[in-house]
Amino acid sequence: MSGEEQKYIREAFDTNWIAPLGPNVDAFEKEIATYVGVNEAVALSSGTAAIHLALSLLEVTKGDKVFCSSLTFVASANPILYQGAEPVFIDSEPDTWNMSPQALEKAFIDAALTGALPKAVIVVNLYGQSAKMDEIVSLCRAYQVPMIEDAAESLGSSYKGKPSGTFGEFGIYSFNGNKIITTSGGGMLVSNNFEALQKARFLATQARDQAIHYQHSVLGYNYRMSNILAGVGRSQLAVLHERVESRRRVFENYVRELADLPGFKFMPELEGTRSNRWLTALTINKKEAGVSVQSLIDSLSELNIEARPVWKPLHLQPLFKGVTYYKHDEAENVSETLFFTGICLPSGSNLKEEDQMRVIDCIKKSVKLKV
């Protein structure tokens, strides 16, 4: 916590704005929109809700296809299923670990040949690192397919000086408890399309028609953020810059201490981008390092230190068995390689230096014992 949350929470109680909507919600939306430089923002109950509303606004429906990054958390793709649509998964590329423009182009070519272009493309900025936006935006424009930028993990990051989450028709952020700033649970939908986000507000509040009685003409959702949680978000946003700097310091400490270990390769930062380094992630070549990802996770766990593999690609998930998947190229399946060789280390903004050194010392000992 930033230390200022109680000020906004107390204000909500003192003014009796406890239910969803209220002054904190209005202010949080304006502050996020100003921070990332867009026309409008809508505060919601989760990042998943934001993706769902974006798909709904783009009129994605049963039978439609949606291209989506494969190396991501399941929440990026679940809303595609909510709409009755069909996901098509796109591999990563080595420079950012994000959606491969090469694989995306192949998917577009095949879709155009069959006369079934996707209704949308969902691009994820993994672990805070922006995807290759120039190439991806260019492809989406060429095929006239709108892009949704899943910036759940990348608030505070930038691509060529432009804030992450502002490149698509819609951008989404998450304020889940594990994100760089949090409202406990929550999300934000952003866009320069003012009319679309006005409709998003309508849909997010059960799509209630303007009538004295309760009347509903279209399907709506209960997706609005509470005024109390929005107050937490306002306080957190004020320290976002500090959080980014803290996470980047954590990442740099790991690199300084571990980058020279055999077989260790940290997630890259594409030239012209600045990652918030939400999580410190790296790959381990088992032959060179003498340790596997799982054995290292086990060694850390024995010292009560939690580490995890990188996201399991969605095309490997039982939920999406049989879904079409486009590899980076015939010889390289990047997302699968990253999954089998990748590890995420403790990366919290409040991670103490002595605790980080415990992690580093354990890793060094594990490698030394095995080599």
What is the spatial distance between Cα 245 and Cα 284, in angstroms, rounded to a whole number?
26
Which of 65, 119, 132, 179 is catalytic? The answer is 179
**What are the chain's domains?**
5-237 (3.40.640.10), 240-370 (3.90.1150.10)
* Residue 164 confidence (pLDDT): 98
Pairing of the two strands 264-266 and 280-284: antiparallel
What is the spatial distance between Cα 96 and Cα 99, in angstroms, rounded to a whole number?
8
Beta strands in the chain (DSSP E): 40-44, 65-69, 86-90, 120-124, 147-150, 158-159, 162-163, 170-174, 187-191, 264-266, 273-274, 280-284, 308-309, 325-326, 342-345
Q: Point out the residues of the chain with pLDDT beneath 70.
A: 369-371
CA 224 from centroid of its chain's CA atoms: 19
Q: What is the DSSP string of 161-191?
A: TEETT-SSSEEEEE--TTSSS--SS-EEEEE
- Rounded to 5 degrees, what angle do the CA atoms 250, 254, 256 make? 115
The model carries a pTM of 0.95
* Residue 370 confidence (pLDDT): 61
* Residue 369 confidence (pLDDT): 67
pLDDT tens column, 237-284: 999 999 999 999 999 999 999 999 999 999 999 999 999 999 999 999
pLDDT tens column, 146-180: 999 999 999 999 999 999 999 999 999 999 999 99
Active site residue 179: yes
